[in-house]
Amino acid sequence: MFSVPRKVLRTASPYLAPEQARSRQLYFAMLDERGDKTGRIDELTRATSRTFLLKHLSAAAAIDTDFPADLQSLPHILRQSHKHAAQAYRHYLDRRHGGAPRSYFSSRSHAMYFLRAVAPTKLVDGAWLYGLLQRWQDPRLAPLIQTYLEELGCGNTLQNHVLLYKGLLARYGCDKWQNGPEEHFTQGTVQLALAHHAHEFLPELIGYNLGYEQLPLHLPITAYELNELDIDPYYFTLHITIDNASTGHARKALQCLLDCTPSIGNAADFIRRVGNGFRLNQVGVGTPQVIASFDLEQELLRVLADKALVGANLHSDYCLVAGRSVSDWLTSPGEIADLLKALQSAGWIRRGESPEKSRFWHLVTDKQAPMFGVFDGYEQQLLRDWILADTGQTPTARTSNRFRSRPRLADVEKTTAVVPGDASLERIIAHHADAAPSPGSCPDVDALFRHLARADTKAKAFAVLEGMLSPGNHPTPAGLAATKLYTDLFQQVL
């Protein structure tokens, strides 16, 4: 007798706080502030997220890093760290060109597992910077506000990082990530908590941003192996370039830190808090841990046990496997492993052969088959890889990047409003209203421009727009329209 599949993550991070079990709920509570479009969260969520942040900051403070006690040596340390990552990636490539196997993903489903596991983090990309918008008049924070606007694609659908990742998940049938383990939500929840407590935790936010924008070794390796497995790596390659230390987000992060560090008063305490924010990047499960937590068979059993809950009484009784009806099998999710064995014994699944030779595979994937549509792209890939069972029939490694073609600039520019630099506020708003989805097609867009019509100063316009740029609101038609206008107005403040 087999038991219900064990939890997906078998190795806990040493940095997980005891409150991690609440991450998922808090994550969605902070994203669910769309009702009034103000970008604000309710008082209970605010208090809970503050406690969450404090607890993870205290866990972060105990993490050993080489963040210095004074800032003089920081640029050198960051350069060295970048150099080490680049060298390690070079060695990785040399090993791979010498015939070594992939370091990260054992199969395509393994890579898709990873895409789902990091979804809670990627779908709030840049969120920690949101709370800085209310300080648009502070020139020291301008580089970080600029970074936030770039994370949002400056309002262009094709360049908004959250929408890019959403598109990636949808393209490969990986968009069922919402019920993942609590541990997968820690970093996303940290980012949202920083978004809503930016004022109180500004040094920590600046430090967190600096840490996040550094090039981690896993980023180029992930991109390389996704491409090999025929999965578009653009989201990841984009972050190698846009975060670069010479002109990109990493440089802006350092610049902001240097500008914000007090020259008089308690600079040491400020830097200590920045260091804690820097370390905050390491709480929860990191990319290497997520990748290491994949177990093909356990993950397939978990998926099938989930299906059993829904499908237990939906099968007809004449369909027998090992003398028992499928409905009977499915009423005991703990016996899924036995069911898989029975399906193999009955010849419905022929492991170690092409999936096309398995009757069960056709039941799941053929357009007219009874179970067509029950398994999403990720789940089908799991089943496929499990049936193949290390026969070497996984996709042939790609050495060229066939995904290189990206949104054409012309397509992007078509969606961008261009307003002359000396235009009046009224004219800028009117210009953006013309470029937005036509009146009546989206009530939120209509409401946005109705409110903006009453804004007779830039400060009032920013106040109206700000809430629409929140992590929950920005990837919507009204959020994108607001981001475009905000970006134009912000350029004039600089």
Residues 222, 294: contact at Cβ < 8 Å?
no
**Minimum CB distance to Fe ion smaller for 184 or for 249:** 249
Q: Compute the CA torsion angle 253, 146, 416, 174 (nearest 10 deg).
A: 50
Pair of tokens at residue 63: 């993490």
**Minimum CB distance to Fe ion smaller for 125 or for 466:** 125
Residues 438, 269: contact at Cβ < 8 Å?
no
When asked if residue 243 is in the footprint of Fe ion (CB under 5 A), the reply is yes
Minimum distance, C-beta of residue 219 to Fe ion, in the bound complex (Å) = 11
The DSSP line for 74-102 is HHHHHHHHHHHHHHHHHHHHHHHHTTPPP
Minimum distance, C-beta of residue 209 to Fe ion, in the bound complex (Å) = 9
Using DSSP bridges, classify how beta strands 320-321 and 324-325 pair: parallel, antiparallel or unpaired. Answer: antiparallel
Cα dist from 37 to 26, 34, 83, 135, 479, whole Å: 19, 5, 43, 19, 9
When asked if residue 122 is in the footprint of Fe ion (CB under 5 A), the reply is no
Rounded distance, CA 296 to CA 107, Å?
A: 9
Minimum distance, C-beta of residue 250 to Fe ion, in the bound complex (Å) = 8
When asked if residue 225 is in the footprint of Fe ion (CB under 5 A), the reply is no
**Minimum CB distance to Fe ion smaller for 148 or for 449:** 148
When asked if residue 256 is in the footprint of Fe ion (CB under 5 A), the reply is no
- Non-local CB neighbours of 158 within 8 Å, separated by 6+ positions: 164, 407, 411, 412, 415
When asked if residue 96 is in the footprint of Fe ion (CB under 5 A), the reply is no
When asked if residue 164 is in the footprint of Fe ion (CB under 5 A), the reply is no
Which class for 282: exposed (0-12), middle (13-18), buried (19 or more C-beta within 10 A)? Answer: middle
When asked if residue 116 is in the footprint of Fe ion (CB under 5 A), the reply is no
Rounded distance, CA 302 to CA 7, Å?
A: 8
Minimum distance, C-beta of residue 127 to Fe ion, in the bound complex (Å) = 10
When asked if residue 161 is in the footprint of Fe ion (CB under 5 A), the reply is yes
For Fe ion, the binding residue among 33, 151, 232, 488 (CB under 5 A) is: 151
Minimum distance, C-beta of residue 487 to Fe ion, in the bound complex (Å) = 16
Q: Count the site residues for Fe ion by CB under 5 A.
A: 5
When asked if residue 253 is in the footprint of Fe ion (CB under 5 A), the reply is no
**Minimum CB distance to Fe ion smaller for 377 or for 407:** 407
**Minimum CB distance to Fe ion smaller for 220 or for 355:** 220
CA atoms within 13 A on the CB side of 405: 3
When asked if residue 379 is in the footprint of Fe ion (CB under 5 A), the reply is no
Minimum distance, C-beta of residue 243 to Fe ion, in the bound complex (Å) = 4
CA atoms within 13 A on the CB side of 323: 0
Minimum distance, C-beta of residue 235 to Fe ion, in the bound complex (Å) = 8
Identify which range of 18-26, 124-132, 301-309, 345-353 contacts Fe ion by CB under 5 A.
Answer: 124-132
**Minimum CB distance to Fe ion smaller for 161 or for 218:** 161
Minimum distance, C-beta of residue 249 to Fe ion, in the bound complex (Å) = 4
**Minimum CB distance to Fe ion smaller for 22 or for 406:** 406
Rounded distance, CA 260 to CA 273, Å?
A: 13
Which class for 454: exposed (0-12), middle (13-18), buried (19 or more C-beta within 10 A)? Answer: exposed
Pair of tokens at residue 233: 């790596």
Residues 323, 301: contact at Cβ < 8 Å?
no
Identify which range of 18-26, 150-158, 367-375, 378-386 contacts Fe ion by CB under 5 A.
Answer: 150-158
When asked if residue 249 is in the footprint of Fe ion (CB under 5 A), the reply is yes
When asked if residue 125 is in the footprint of Fe ion (CB under 5 A), the reply is yes
Identify which range of 63-71, 123-131, 306-314, 343-351 contacts Fe ion by CB under 5 A.
Answer: 123-131
When asked if residue 204 is in the footprint of Fe ion (CB under 5 A), the reply is no
What is the 8-class DSSP label of residue 284?
S
Rounded distance, CA 483 to CA 470, Å?
A: 10
Identify which range of 35-43, 128-136, 157-165, 414-422 contacts Fe ion by CB under 5 A.
Answer: 157-165
Give the residue among 465, 493, 439, 406 at the shortest CA–CA distance from 143.
493
Pair of tokens at residue 156: 């262009």
**Minimum CB distance to Fe ion smaller for 252 or for 273:** 252
Pair of tokens at residue 132: 């800085």
Identify which range of 117-125, 191-199, 403-411, 442-450 contacts Fe ion by CB under 5 A.
Answer: 117-125
**Minimum CB distance to Fe ion smaller for 127 or for 429:** 127
Minimum distance, C-beta of residue 112 to Fe ion, in the bound complex (Å) = 20
The residue ranges that bind Fe ion (CB under 5 A) are 125, 151, 161, 243, 249
